[in-house]
Amino acid sequence: MLGLTQGITEFAPVSSSGHLIIVPWLFGWHILDDPNLNKTFDVALHVGTLVGALVYFRRDVWRYLRAWIGSVRARRIETTDQRLAWALVLGTIPGAAAGALFEDVIQDKLGQPWLIALMLAGFGVVLYVVDRRAESNLHIDDVSLGRGVTLGVAQAIALQPGVSRSGITMTVARWMGLDRTSAARFSFLLALPIIAGAGAFKGLDLAREGFGGYAPEFLWGFISSAVSGFLVIWGLLTYLRRHDYRFFMIYRLGVAALVLVVIATGVRPASGL
C-alpha cells in the first residue's frame, strides 16, 4: 500500500511525503513505529521511485550526463543540452542543502496532519491559479541557469510535507512561462538527484545493519513504487498535453478536508498516531 502511495504521489503534484504520513495516520498503522521497518521501507521507496523514473527518462539522463561531462571537460557551456544539464545540477543544490540542514526539524516538527492538510489545500489552489493565468511561451530548452536555480529553491520549500516537490516546481515553472509538459518534465528530471541522494544517504545504515527482518517489505515496497512511479510519469505527461491542474487541486482540497474532518470529529489526533 505504501509502495503504491509513494509511486503514485512522488511525481503527481499532490505531495508524496504528506501522503506517506497521512495514510498510516488514517488507518492507525502503529507497526510503522518500528524504526527498523521505517528505515528499511524508506530506502525501498526512494530506490523504487528512482528506478522507475530512470527507466522512463533513461535517454534524457544519458543525454544530459554526457552534455555535463563534456561541459566540465571543455570548461564552458556551448550547447543547449549543456546549459540544461547545468541548470539541473545547480537546481539540485538548494534542496540538498536544505534537506541536510533541516532534516531533524522536518521530521520532528513539520509532519503534523493538520499542517499537511493546510499545505495541500493552499498550494493546490496556488498551482491551479498560476497555471490558469500563466502563458505557455517557453519550452524546456529555454530553461536558463537562473531559472534552474529558482526552481531548485522552490523544490527546497517542498521539504515541508504537503507542499509537493513536483507541485511547487511545476507552479514556478508555469509562472515563468513554460508550457505544462515542459514544466512537468523539468520538474521530474530535477527530482532525480534529490531522490537518489536521499536513497543513498539513508541506505548507508541499511547497508551496514541489514534489513532488520524486513527484506520482504523492502522487496514489495521497491517493486510497487518503481512500477507505479513509471506509470504515473507516463500518464501525467500524457494528461498534461490536453488538461490543466484542476483535477489535482480538487483532489488536494478533498484530502485536506478529509484530514480536518477526521481531526475535528476526534477519530484521529491532530498531531499524529
- Locate the domains of the chain by residue range: 2-27+35-264
pLDDT at 6: 84
pLDDT tens-place values along the chain, 273 residues long: 888 888 889 899 999 889 988 998 898 887 666 666 666 677 778 788 999 999 999 999 999 999 999 999 999 999 999 999 999 999 999 988 887 777 667 766 778 899 999 999 999 999 999 999 999 999 999 999 999 999 999 999 888 899 999 999 999 999 999 999 999 999 999 999 888 887 777 777 667 776 667 778 778 888 999 999 999 999 999 999 999 999 999 999 999 999 999 999 988 888 765
* Nearest CA among 182, 94, 111 for reference residue 146: 94
User: Which residues, other chains included, contact 72 with Cβ-Cβ below 8 Å and sequence gap of 6+?
Assistant: none
* Nearest CA among 86, 84, 65 for reference residue 75: 86
* Nearest CA among 22, 193, 190 for reference residue 119: 22
- The DSSP symbol for 29 reads -
Spatial distance between the Cα atoms of 140 and 173, rounded to a whole number of angstroms: 10
**Dihedral angle sign, alpha carbons of residues 243, 164, 190, 36:** negative
Spatial distance between the Cα atoms of 205 and 144, rounded to a whole number of angstroms: 37
User: Which residues, other chains included, contact 247 with Cβ-Cβ below 8 Å and sequence gap of 6+?
Assistant: none
Cell numbers for 137: 511561451
CB 264 within 8 A of CB 117: no
What residue type is assigned to position 44 of the chain? A
pLDDT at 32: 62
Spatial distance between the Cα atoms of 221 and 37, rounded to a whole number of angstroms: 11
pLDDT at 21: 87
